[in-house]
Amino acid sequence: MFFHKKLTVSCKCEKKYIFLNFESSSVFMGMILRKIASLLYGMAIHVRNMLFDKDILSGKSYDIPIICIGNITAGGTGKTPMVELVTAYLSQKHKVAVLSRGYGRRTRGYREVDALFDHYLDVGDEPLQIKRKFPEVPVIVCERRTEGVERILERFPDTEIIIMDDGFQHRWVKPYLNIVMIDYTRPVDKDSFMPMGQLRDSLDSLDRANIFIFTKCPPSMLKRDMSFMIAGLKKKPSQATFFSRPRCSEVRALSSGAPVVLPEHSKVIALSGIGNNEAFFKGLSKRYQVVTTIGLEDHYKYSVDDADLLYNAFKEHPDAAFVITTEKDAVKLSSIDNFPDQLRDRIFYECIGMEFVDFTAAPSVRIEHALYDLLDNEIKNFNDDAHIRGC
């Protein structure tokens, strides 16, 4: 029900009675409540970080290098592609293990991910995706990271490096190297604490970062844009910065997992349930004619009932040739029992990697090699220090 401004006039004076629109007042009250919640959340984060910074609460260090790949915002910032990139590089030279919380799983405690037999609901969609790509690398889920690290060292004593996925806020473990992912399209210095904004940690916490990786950088990015983003971080000279954008490395069929080549500019239905669906849809529209999009919440739990969602999309868009989705969604869709084969055969997924960019460098320079060199040097420094300590 809507109430509008009402005007009454008497012989002596004019009075205005303003009745607020009920829906507007509800929105206003909701905004006030979110603002209060955001302030309380920010205060709690500041207090918690202060306790760790002053060693009133203490994180634990270990005798092997732990590389943490995290962020300070909610939503997709490209952590999983970065975990895969670092894992692919370091596993060529070292015995590597990956440790994740296993967000959204129905199990608890320590669990070793099995690529063949585990369901994503038991280990989490992203850990299962990583394990399927790196079957020889131990991938562990454990919400208590200290327990996870210690069990890894016990179960896999030859482990030389642990890559900790999304552990920047989990300060009970002290990583040797912190890599922080930042979405270029959502500058952190312009953001607010949740739930008003996307921040889940304070900007001051960025002092603990060793490397910043800006993701989702546009092709039109200029040198001044890079300088502007770096200035917003107020970073220290010792902190390295890299810029990247997503790159589709290949397309695979959901039914077989085999690589395929799809005709460019085909009419497709875009399906996504990740932290930033719009970024996926935007990238897809550069290669195909996207006739409709289906955006779901991050870590969406698919069931056989979702087949109707796709059937209806094909019914409304009979000219669509197939569905293209994300690799993370494909992990979950492939786990559904009794999913119709005729629908499964029309679903394909993009494998998204990272492409590093720097317009200040010569075209022949591979920027990721600078990142790899930095990782190698940091690991060497850790091992040299450990040798001096007699570890």
Residue 97 sits in a domain of what CATH number? 3.40.50.300
Residue 15 lies in a domain: no
Residue 234 lies in a domain: yes
Domain containing 332: what range?
A: 248-354
How many domains are contained in the chain? 3
Please indicate, yes or no, whether residues 200 and 240 belong to a single structural domain of this protein: yes
> What is residue 66's three-state secondary structure?
strand
pLDDT of residue 12: 43
Please indicate, yes or no, whether residues 269 and 154 belong to a single structural domain of this protein: no
Please indicate, yes or no, whether residues 164 and 240 belong to a single structural domain of this protein: yes
153 pLDDT higher than 70: yes
pLDDT of residue 25: 73
Residue 311 lies in a domain: yes
pLDDT of residue 234: 85
Please indicate, yes or no, whether residues 53 and 176 belong to a single structural domain of this protein: no
7 pLDDT higher than 50: no
Please indicate, yes or no, whether residues 342 and 208 belong to a single structural domain of this protein: no
Please indicate, yes or no, whether residues 273 and 223 belong to a single structural domain of this protein: no
Q: Across residues 48-56, what is the average pLDDT?
A: 96
Kindly report which listed range (47-61, 65-79, 238-252, 347-361) carries the lowest average pLDDT score: 347-361
Q: Could you tell me the pTM of the whole model? A: 0.89
> What is residue 103's three-state secondary structure?
coil
For the domain that residue 298 is a member of, what is the CATH number?
A: 3.40.50
Within 8 A by CB and 6+ apart from 264, the residues are: 287, 288
Please indicate, yes or no, whether residues 349 and 385 belong to a single structural domain of this protein: no
DSSP state of 220: T
Residue 33 lies in a domain: yes
Residue 1 lies in a domain: no
Helical spans, DSSP H, in 124-187? 125-133, 145-155
Tell me: cis bond preceding 157? Omega within 30 of 0 counts: no
6 pLDDT higher than 70: no
Residue 14 lies in a domain: no
The residue ranking higher by pLDDT, 21 or 141, is 141
9 pLDDT higher than 80: no
The DSSP-derived string for 299-313 is T----TTHHHHHHHH
> What is residue 280's three-state secondary structure?
helix
First to last CA, the chain: 72
Q: Across residues 9-33, what is the average pLDDT?
A: 60
24 pLDDT higher than 70: no
Q: How far apart are CA 214 and CA 99, in angstroms?
A: 23
Cβ contact 381:58 at 8 Å = no
Residue 324 lies in a domain: yes
Please indicate, yes or no, whether residues 213 and 97 belong to a single structural domain of this protein: yes
Please indicate, yes or no, whether residues 337 and 216 belong to a single structural domain of this protein: no
Q: Which residue has the tokens 């603002």?
A: 35
Per-residue pLDDT band at 31 (split at 50, 70, 90)? confident
Please indicate, yes or no, whether residues 272 and 307 belong to a single structural domain of this protein: yes
Residue 314 lies in a domain: yes
Q: Across residues 41-60, what is the average pLDDT?
A: 96
Please indicate, yes or no, whether residues 282 and 157 belong to a single structural domain of this protein: no
- What's the whole-number average pLDDT of the chain? 90
Give 292-344 pLDDT, tens digit per residue. 999 999 999 999 999 999 999 999 999 999 999 999 999 999 999 899 999 99
Please indicate, yes or no, whether residues 31 and 151 belong to a single structural domain of this protein: no
Please tell me the number of Cα atoms within 13 Å of 177 on its side-chain side.
23
